[in-house]
Amino acid sequence: MPTDDPPPPAVPARDRGAGWRATAGVLVRNFYLALQVDPELGPVFARHVADWPRHYETLTDFWSLQTGGPPVYRGRLLQAHAPLGLRSESFDRWLAQWRQSCRLHFAEAEAAEMIALAERLGSRMRETLTSADPLPRLAPP
């Protein structure tokens, strides 16, 4: 049964240097700016995100943690996304934009790592959130 705890970092932890969080933040900001104008996903974000600067910080904390950064992310990933009514196709669009953004922001090897990470996370989220009734599956055991 899936839990709502963020998964452990999937990209091998390595010394990415003091500037990594800022680098991740640029990726996050540009990626989500593109999603805000996406015809399918943009309206979802418009309905659910009132404070974009704060949301960017939360998202940067999440992606920094997933890539070996400090454990400052304290969100509940699956429960935060459960009420959004996402469809399987939503994840396809999200991943397509993520791939494009990673390839624009990183060298080939690092982009490939970030893409693989997002694909694993997206698969887990898609499986859980597009089931017939995801919320009971997210309840603590």
Q: Is the dihedral of CA 62, 65, 66, 69 positive or negative?
A: positive
Residue 9: pLDDT band (50, 70, 90) is very low
Closest CA to 38 of 78, 107, 96, 122: 96
Specify the pLDDT at position 17.
Answer: 58
Confidence (pTM):
0.79
Closest CA to 114 of 51, 67, 57: 67
Domain spans of the chain, in order of start: 20-132
Non-local CB neighbours of 47 within 8 Å, separated by 6+ positions: none
User: CB burial class (10 A; 0-12, 13-18, 19+) of residue 1?
Assistant: exposed
Specify the pLDDT at position 16.
Answer: 60
Average pLDDT, integer, range 95-101: 96
Q: pLDDT tens digit string along 111-128?
A: 999 999 999 999 989 888
Q: Residue 73 gets which letter from DSSP?
A: -
**In this model, does residue 73 exceed pLDDT 60?**
yes
Specify the pLDDT at position 58.
Answer: 93
Residue 132 or residue 43, greater confidence: 43
Mean pLDDT of the chain: 82
**In this model, does residue 99 exceed pLDDT 90?**
yes
Residue 131 or residue 84, greater confidence: 84
Topology (CATH) of 20-132 = Globin-like (1.10.490)
Average pLDDT, integer, range 136-140: 48
Contacts for 89-94 with beta carbons within 8 Å, 24 or more apart?
Answer: 89/40, 90/40, 90/41, 90/44, 91/122, 91/125, 91/126, 91/130, 93/38, 93/40, 93/41, 94/35, 94/41, 94/122
d(CA 53, CA 51): 6
Q: pLDDT tens digit string along 22-61?
A: 888 999 999 999 999 999 999 999 999 999 999 999 999 9
